[in-house]
Structure 1
Amino acid sequence: MAPNLIKACLFGLASGSCVLAKPTTAGCPGLTVSHEGTPAGTFKNISGIQIYHTHPPRSAKPGKINTAILYVTDIFGAADLQNKLLADSIARANYAVIMPDLFSGNPVPANALSDPTFNFPAWLARHPVSESDNAIATTIAYMRNELGVQKIGAAGYCWGGKYVPRFLAAGQGIDVGFIAHPSNLATDEIMGIKGPISIAAGDLDDAFNATSRRTAEDILFSKNTTYQTSLYAGAPHGFGTRVDLSNTRQKFAKEAAFLQAVTWFDAWL
């Protein structure tokens, strides 16, 4: 996307001329977020992992050749409607998007947060770091070796916000990263980041609170990393993928974080 178009879209967010949620957005082609609808992509079994593939529409302008986005999901997984719709939204911004199932068909159920009987510690025990590491490493190898992708951007949400930094370390396969409201992101994982990283945070997120944000920024600054952080008012944990659409602050935060991710990839991939 041309820099003047990016500036026009950013200005439009404030002026009201570029509203992300509408199906067509004059002056901002492709920069729309789907909150509902039918997913456009398909799943393929790659080395025993179900991987969702979604591509730019045929009417879109040509994207960057041999460039794609690895979408690393939250705990609700690749089969979740909101994750598929957000992956499709990124695809409409002229990126092929590849989203693996990190949990071997056993993500957290969509209603788990409102179900007091759901045993989250037991679920966590069944899904160690090594499981997601393996799914992501397999997907990166597939993107490089079979799809011919030369530059990989990665978008990680919640659970995925821990793993994008892990694979943004030197030699791990990701070139550019974006994360929103990361969970369990460790100091050594931030220290290991080598490529450009953009972080979307919410001021109501206890999982990535003010102390965590400051720690991440201090580390990235000390390492002279290319980074960006954006803080959204009234945004709870999970705002990058699922929000109360009747809440203006939350709706804006989700849509603005999407724009943050796309413009970051446009600049650095």
Structure 2
Amino acid sequence: MSGPQCCSSPPTLDAASGAGHVENLAGFNTYVSGSLQSKLAVLLVSDVFGYEAPNLRKLADKVAAAGFYVVVPDFFYGDPYFSDKPDRPLTAWIKDHEPVKGFEDAKPIIDALKSKGVSSIGAAGFCWGAKVVVELSKVALIQAVVMLHPSFVTVDDIKGLKVPIAILGAEIDKMSPPELVEQFGEILKANEVDSFVKIFPKCSHGWTVRYDANDPTAAACANEAHKDMLDWFTKYAK
């Protein structure tokens, strides 16, 4: 996951953004939006810029408005990646924040949700977070998964999936180029896993959470992906 594309268009982090609130969940600072009364939850796992990204929190609020209890944990322990720090390149930051650690950290989050009466959980991962949710799906800890402009995810990962998955990729993406995303889709078909694979034309890696809200075209592309994600959870996380 090295390279500039993964870190292009970094968000301005804002701890006060969003209509929800931050609370402690299983020992993690977690942005929470929505009501537990629905008994349906969605776990959003961020890209390298972390859980304070305003567009990510707006998306959490949007999913919550559709009837889900949404949680966005800080799996970076207050240490998101900052691309303007040349003394700590992404490769060094990743060594401190391997996705496999995110997978292990997600387990107590899921346990905490179930202890609150949640009966079904969907999980979406963005870039770094995609690897986390794929690992969760291999052991069927969740009911549905969505990957958006994934990084780190391999063909072998896809072969191990056990739950319905939607993969939303970008036409302009060195991290998961269209041909790799299409290969993922062929594997899922052969393994008879319910799946939805879509390549967004003219979009770049990170477009679903790092878009400029003042750019109508960029916002429309992001909203289309958000709708696809929400439709998937509505269908399978129930």
What is the TM-score normalised by the length of structure 1? 0.77
CA distance in 2, matches of 1:149, 1:239: 30
Which residue of the other structure, out of 126, 129, 134, is the alignment partner of 1:165? 134
Native 8 Å contact 1:165 1:177 kept in 2: yes
The equivalent residue for 2:28 is 49
1:101 aligns with 2:74: yes
CA distance in 1, matches of 2:163, 2:38: 20
1:247 shift after superposition: 4.6
1:90 aligns with 2:63: yes
Native 8 Å contact 1:101 1:135 kept in 2: no
Q: What is the letter of the counterpart of residue 41 of structure 1? A: G
CA distance in 2, matches of 1:46, 1:248: 36
Q: What is the letter of the counterpart of residue 173 of structure 2? A: D
The equivalent residue for 1:12 is none
1:245 shift after superposition: 4.0
Native 8 Å contact 1:103 1:131 kept in 2: no
Show structure 2 runs of 5+ residues with no match.
Answer: 1-13
CA distance in 2, matches of 1:242, 1:160: 14
1:199 shift after superposition: 1.2
1:210 shift after superposition: 2.2
Which residue of the other structure, out of 82, 94, 102, is the alignment partner of 1:124? 94
The equivalent residue for 1:141 is 111
| CA separation of 1:99 and 1:194: change in aligned 2, threshold 3 A | same
Q: Name the SS of the counterpart of 1:78 in structure 2.
A: coil
Native 8 Å contact 1:233 1:249 kept in 2: no
Which residue of the other structure, out of 220, 228, 233, is the alignment partner of 1:260? 228
Q: Which has the larger radius of gyration?
A: 1
Structure with bigger RCO (C-alpha 8 Å, 6+ apart): 2
The equivalent residue for 2:50 is 77
1:76 shift after superposition: 1.0
Native 8 Å contact 1:51 1:101 kept in 2: yes
Which residue of the other structure, out of 184, 195, 201, is the alignment partner of 2:169? 201
CA distance in 2, matches of 1:38, 1:120: 25
1:69 shift after superposition: 0.5
Show structure 1 runs of 5+ residues with no match.
Answer: 1-35, 57-62
Percent identity over paired residues: 27
CA distance in 2, matches of 1:131, 1:188: 19
CA distance in 2, matches of 1:248, 1:209: 25
| CA separation of 1:242 and 1:183: change in aligned 2, threshold 3 A | same
CA distance in 2, matches of 1:260, 1:64: 24
Q: What is the letter of the counterpart of residue 105 of structure 2? A: A
1:232 shift after superposition: 0.9
Native 8 Å contact 2:38 2:67 kept in 1: no
Q: What is the letter of the counterpart of residue 197 of structure 1? A: I
Q: Name the SS of the counterpart of 1:74 in structure 2.
A: coil
1:53 shift after superposition: 1.0
The equivalent residue for 2:119 is 150
Q: Name the SS of the counterpart of 1:168 in structure 2.
A: helix
1:208 shift after superposition: 0.9
1:254 shift after superposition: 0.5
1:263 shift after superposition: 1.1
CA distance in 2, matches of 1:219, 1:120: 30
CA distance in 2, matches of 1:93, 1:122: 38
